[in-house]
Amino acid sequence: MSNLKYVEKINEVIEKIDATQAENIKAAAKLCADTIHSGKLVHLFGSGHSVLPIQDMFPRYGGVVGWHPLMDPRLMWTNVIGPGGARELLWIERQEGYIKNFLQSYTFQEGEVMIVYSHGGLNAAPIECAMYAKEHGMKVIAVTSGENYRKGTATHSSGKKLGDLADILIDNCCPLEDSLVAIPGYAQKVGASSTTAVMTITQSLAAETGLLLEKLGHKMYIFVSPNVTECPPDYMNEVYANYTELMHKTNN
């Protein structure tokens, strides 16, 4: 037992991920490794706090060229209230039709992969991102709350939840309400779990994909800290150049 209540509770979540989701993560890693090795992209999408695992995949120390974060600043909050605030964000991500306009700015290839993060799995943005991916011949990996998927009521006009559209579903093993620590006298809990959980899933996926890419003989360009003295001083220029070249190839 931990000395800290949150650490005790989040460790239970992470242990459950390891015990129940390892095969799904490994299956997702194989899909991602095969896609990257073929010269195509693995796209990542999320809104609200679900942008955080996208940012933590690439560009991030340890990230391999081939991951492609899809970032829309209107789907992140930069203020609590007012312009760029949480209230506006929570409204936008529920509006049907918005995400198609965002995704039309990108070129996607059949056979690529779209990873969609959403704890709730009910909002229009992640659902329509998954729909768009399927329409364009991509495989969909959903990282979501299995409890939300089982118990939640679909709110999208299609009647779909994110999990319904997934080729591979990875359960973040977090409770429906996300928070973990009960406070006496309050109905609400504190200490959100899903960010820590999906970061663990994301970096597990990154590591398993990297191990598979090595077995495939794929030359990896890995984002690395400048404090790693074993790498040449200009190594990161090679990483940026390879990323630029890959983006040019996949968008033409």
Question: What H or E segment, with its residue span, contains residue 115?
Answer: strand 113-118
The pLDDT mean for the chain works out to 95
- Give the pLDDT band (50/70/90) at residue 252: low
What range does the domain containing 202 cover? 5-250
Whether the pLDDT of residue 226 is over 90: the answer is: no
Interatomic CA distance for residues 83 and 93, integer angstroms: 15
Indicate the number of domains in the chain: 1
Q: Which CATH number do you get for residue 32?
A: 3.40.50.10490
Residue 45 CA: distances (Å) to CA of 34, 51, 166, 230: 20, 7, 14, 33
- Give the pLDDT band (50/70/90) at residue 250: confident
Q: What is the pLDDT of residue 70?
A: 97
**Residue whose C-alpha is closest to residue 16's, from 171, 214, 211, 183:** 171
Contact 129, 45 (CB under 8 A): yes
Contact 130, 165 (CB under 8 A): yes
**Where does residue 56 fall: left (phi above 0), alpha (psi -120 to 50 degrees), or beta otherwise?**
alpha
Whole-model pTM: value is: 0.95
**Where does residue 14 fall: left (phi above 0), alpha (psi -120 to 50 degrees), or beta otherwise?**
alpha
Question: What H or E segment, with its residue span, contains residue 246?
Answer: helix 235-250
What is the pLDDT averaged over residues 105-114? 96
Query: 97 in helix, strand or coil?
Result: coil
**Residue whose C-alpha is closest to residue 161's, from 127, 194, 115:** 127
- In the block, which residue shows the tokens 């190839």? 249
Q: What is the pLDDT of residue 2?
A: 76
29-47 pLDDT, tens per residue? 999 999 999 999 999 999 9
Q: Does 184 sit behind a cis peptide bond, omega within 30 degrees of 0 on the bond before it?
A: no
- Three-state SS letters, 205-243: HHHHHHHHHHHCCCCCCECCCCCCCCCCCCHHHHHHHHH
Interatomic CA distance for residues 45 and 101, integer angstroms: 14
134-175 pLDDT, tens per residue? 999 999 999 999 999 999 999 999 999 999 999 999 999 999
39-84 pLDDT, tens per residue? 999 999 999 999 999 999 999 999 999 999 999 999 998 889 988 8
